[in-house]
Amino acid sequence: MSASHPIGSHKEDQPIQPERPSTPPHIPTYLISLPVTPPKNRSRRITQQHPATPLFKNQIPSIKQLLFQDLYDGGGLIKKKCEAYSTFKGKIFPLIQQPTASKSCGAGAVMMLVLGCFQKQKPQTALITAKQFIHEKAEDLWQWYAMCKLTQADEIQEVLLRHFKIGTEIHEISSEDFDDCVQKLHASLKKSNHSIMLSITHERIAGHWIILDEINMIEKTADIRDPYSGHAFRLSFAELQQNLGEEDALGFHIQHYLEVTSLPSLDDGEVAPD
């Protein structure tokens, strides 16, 4: 290849050729197969990828609860019916799978976080409360959820505040110091008295959002909810460290989590149950 046509050049000041060659120029095979190294950009985005097998090992059995049985819309927007599970402390949290259409783990994690927060305020009207803060019509909640795509921490924070009036703080942790990560996550759980939305980088997935509900400092385990599978898992600290510490495609060892700081007043336009 001549020097006037370097690979990857996009300049438009090249000499105009009188006629195009009948055959394309020869490019050496070793140049075609060279991998492209992405630049390290601080604006990290969670990439939606979907492995065929579960990401985590120790699944916690699901339980049926009347409060969450009505969450399934029946229209195919999610693959499995919504259920619940109990943490090692006996707390009950909803299990909701990420939407089938958008395959957004961020959307699935947001829905679980929102309903968990509203459940603590008024357990019997958690879904109704969520619906009133997203749209007036109940079915619009699921239509919004079906097409929702959430990846970055700042856009998730905006959605939580704008649609559900849930205030959050974004925190950054360095997975290179796992003990410090655990201490900060445990402190945030106690301070907020709510679950945490946590970014991870699994060895088989470029990026993922999960919900962290409890950390057992004695048994050294963490109870989490996975929006990809719609199940809950009990991670050992070793497995949690692996998910926090894996370097992603951009070379990041940094993870983010959202800590709930405020909830809306249900007296503002509260909708009574049907």
pLDDT in tens, 31-83: 333 333 333 344 444 544 555 567 888 999 988 766 665 555 545 556 566 78
Q: Which contacts qualify for 220-224: CB closer than 8 Å, 24 or more apart?
A: 221/88, 223/60, 223/87, 223/88, 224/56, 224/198
Topology of domain 61-262, CATH: Cathepsin B; Chain A (3.90.70)
pLDDT at 248: 54
pLDDT at 156: 94
Model pTM? 0.74
Query: For residues 193 and 132, which has the higher predicted lDDT (pLDDT)?
Result: 193
pLDDT band at residue 142, thresholds of 50, 70 and 90?
confident
Mean pLDDT of 213-229: 95
CB 133 within 8 A of CB 163: yes
Considering the chain, what percentage of its residues have pLDDT values greater than 90? 35
